[in-house]
Amino acid sequence: MTVAYKNRVIAYYDIFKKQLTERGGKLNVVMTFRFGNEDDPTPLDPEIVKGMFKDYTAFTGIEFVAGEKKHGEDTYFEDIV
Q: Is 60 helix (H, G, I), strand (E, B) or coil?
A: helix
pTM higher than 0.75? no
The amino acid present at 40, given as its one-letter code, is D
> Looking at residue 18, what is its pLDDT?
92
Q: Would the pLDDT of 50 be above 70?
A: yes
Nearest to residue 16, comparing CAs of 33, 3, 29? 29
Q: Would the pLDDT of 6 be above 90?
A: no
Q: Would the pLDDT of 46 be above 70?
A: yes
Q: How far is CA 26 from CA 8, 23, 33, 42, 56, in A?
A: 21, 9, 22, 31, 11
